[in-house]
Amino acid sequence: MENRYLNVKEVAAELNISDTSVYRHLASGKLIGYKVGPRLWRIRMEDVHAFAEAVSMARGVELWEIRQQKVEETRKGEQKR
C-alpha cells in the first residue's frame, strides 16, 4: 500500500481547519509531518486520520466529562430542595 502525502493546504481542507492551525499542530507534535523545506511540510494521510481520530476521542471524553459535571450539579441541586 502506497502512502499518500498531503501538503498543509490539503490537510487543512481534509480537517476543516486553517493552515495556521495545521502549522500549530505540526509544531506541537500533535500532528506528525515531515519538513521538506523552510515552510514546506508533507503529512501522510495515515497520520492525518490518526490525528483526527485522536482529536475526536479527546472531544468525546471532554463532552462526557461536561455531561457528568452537569449531572452532578443537577443532583446537588435536587438534594438542596
pLDDT at position 63 is 64
> Measured between alpha carbons, how far is 74 from 60 in angstroms, rounded to an integer?
21
pLDDT in tens, the chain (81 residues): 468 999 999 999 999 899 999 999 999 999 999 999 888 999 999 999 999 988 887 777 666 676 777 777 777 776 766
pLDDT at position 81 is 61
Q: Which CATH fold would you assign to the domain 5-80?
A: Multidrug-efflux Transporter Regulator; Chain: A; Domain 2 (1.10.1660)
pLDDT at position 43 is 97
pLDDT at position 31 is 95
pLDDT at position 68 is 74
| Residue-wise DSSP of 29-72 | TSS--EE-SSS-EEEEHHHHHHHHHHHHHHHHHHHHHHHHHHHH
Could you tell me the sign of the dihedral formed by the alpha carbons of 35, 40, 44, 47, in that order?
positive
